Chains A and B, each alone.
Chain A
Amino acid sequence: MNWNDLCLALFGPAHGIVRDGDVILGTGQIDPEGRHQEPLTVTVVGTTDHAPIGVETALAQAAVVLDTIEHHPGRPILLLVDTQGQRLRHRDELLCINRYMAHLGCCVDLARRRGHRVIGLVYDQALSGGFITSGLMADACYALPEAEIRVMRLPAMSRVTKISEDVLEQLSQSNPVFAPGVSNYVAMGGIEAIWRDDLRQCLRDALQNPNVQDLRAEHGAARGGRALAADIVQRVLAA
Chain B
Amino acid sequence: MNAHTSFAELSARQRVQAMVDVGTFKEFLGPSQRVVSPHLAALGVPYAFDDGAVIGSGTLNANAVLIAAQEGEFMGGGVGEVHGAKLTGLFRRALRDRPAAVLVLAESGGVRLHEANAGLIAVSEVMRALLDVRAAGIPVLMLIGGANGCFGGMGLIAGCADFVVMSDAARMSMSGPEVIESSHGVEEFDARDRALVWRTTGGKHRYLMGDCDRLVEDDVAAFRSAALDLLGQCKQPGAKQPMTLESLRQAHARLQERIENVGDCKDATDIWQRLGVAHPERVGDMEAAEIQALVAREQA
Contact = CB atoms under 8 A, between A and B. Distances in A.
B160 interface: yes
Interface string B37-76: 0110011110000000001000000000000000000000
B contact residues, range:
35 or more
Contacts of A239: 28-29
Contacts of A98: 155-156, 158-159, 172-174
Contacts of A102: 127, 155-160
Interface residues of A, number: 76
Given A106-B131, A190-B120, 11 more contacts: A66-B252, A89-B189, A132-B123, A132-B127, A150-B117, A151-B113, A178-B114, A228-B85, A229-B81, A232-B86, A236-B29
Contacts of A157: 113, 116
B259 A188 contact: no
B196 to A, nearest CB: 9
Q: Interface residues of A: mostly helix, strand, loop or mixed?
A: helix
A29 to B, nearest CB: 25
B138 to A, nearest CB: 15
Contacts of B115: 177-178
B120 A128 contact: yes
B241 interface: no
Contact of B118 (A62, A132, A229): A229
B11 interface: no
A102 B134 CA distance: 14
Contacts of B248: 62, 66, 103, 106-107, 110
B118 A86 contact: no
Interface in B119-170: 119-125, 127-129, 131, 135, 152-153, 155-160
Contacts, number: 241
A175 B42 contact: yes
Nearest to B164: A99
B134 to A, nearest CB: 9
Given A110-B245, A177-B39, A228-B81, A105 B119 contact: no
B125 A167 contact: no
A157 B112 CA distance: 11
Contacts of B28: 235-236, 239
Contact of A129 (B43, B152, B184): B152
B106 to A, nearest CB: 12
B96 A237 contact: yes
Interface of B: 28-29, 35, 38-39, 42-45, 55, 81-82, 84-86, 88-90, 92-93, 96, 111, 113-125, 127-129, 131, 135, 152-153, 155-160, 172-175, 177, 179-180, 183-184, 188-189, 200-201, 205-206, 209, 211, 243-245, 248-249, 251-252, 255-256, 258-259, 262-263, 265, 267-268, 271
B155 to A, nearest CB: 4
Contacts of A152: 113, 116
A59 interface: yes
Contacts of A110: 243-245, 248
Contacts of B183: 88
A97 interface: yes
A109 B128 contact: yes
Contact of A105 (B29, B127, B211, B271): B127
Given A188-B117, A228-B82, A96 B156 contact: no
Nearest first, the 6 closest Cβ-Cβ pairs linking A and B are: A102-B159, A236-B89, A98-B155, A136-B124, A151-B116, A239-B28
A162 to B, nearest CB: 9
Contacts of B258: 95
A93 B159 contact: no
Contact of A99 (B121, B135, B255, B256): B255
A190 B123 CA distance: 11
Contact of A56 (B160, B259, B262): B259
Interface string A144-178: 00000111100001001101000100010001111
A60 to B, nearest CB: 10
> Of residues B29, B117, B243, which shows the largest number of chain A Cβ atoms within 10 Å of its Cβ?
B117
B86 A190 contact: no
Contact of A94 (B116, B124, B156, B265): B265
